[in-house]
Amino acid sequence: MIKEVTTTAGPVDYLIHSAGVARDSLLISHSAQDIQDTIATNLMGTIWVNKAVAKGMMRRKKGAIVNISSVVGLQGNTGQSVYSASKSAIVGFSKSLSKELGSRGVTVNVIAPGYIDTDMTSSIPDARKKDIATRTSLGRLGRPEDVAEAALFLAQAKFITGQVLVVDGGLVL
């Protein structure tokens, strides 16, 4: 995938890596396949894509990586133990990678979104969404553009690395 991008568009200077699946269920109800799929998509996908762009960024001595985690990866949530594990691992991975790439002029940061109105949250019942929205300081769920603006900020910030920016409207305070 990265090779195809660089062939058509040139080198990757900025990576915003946002891929994730959530299979909400208590751990004892998860199948082995559900667990493997969640870890493969959320964590291993992040690792492989970061690895694919890191060498070129290091060679050019510039670049920014922003990996998308989740507030669930920071605080946990009932029925999301596997999802939480995969998203918290992204935080540890990104902090370590920021130390590996920093001396080469590459920043690595994380965004931990709260509840964002996307396909992933579309199956949450409206009453639950309303409850979540009332628990945020801003009184609403996030929008994709809220996360995009934060990602753009981190991608352009030359002296911020190894950090986690929570974008949740004040849900987790």
Q: Catalytic amino acids?
A: 83
In angstroms, rounded to a whole number, what is the distance separating the alpha carbons of residues 137 and 171? 7
Report the candidate in 116, 102, 119, 120 with the shortest Cα–Cα distance to residue 148: 116
- Supply the DSSP symbol for 116: B
DSSP strand E in the chain: where? 14-17, 63-68, 106-113, 164-167
Rounded CA separation 81/77 (Å): 7
The tokens for 9 are 């568009």
Neighbours of 84 (CB within 10 A): 21
In three-state secondary structure terms, 156 is helix
* Cα separation, 71 vs 102, whole angstroms: 25
Decide if 93 contacts 44 (C-beta within 8 A): no
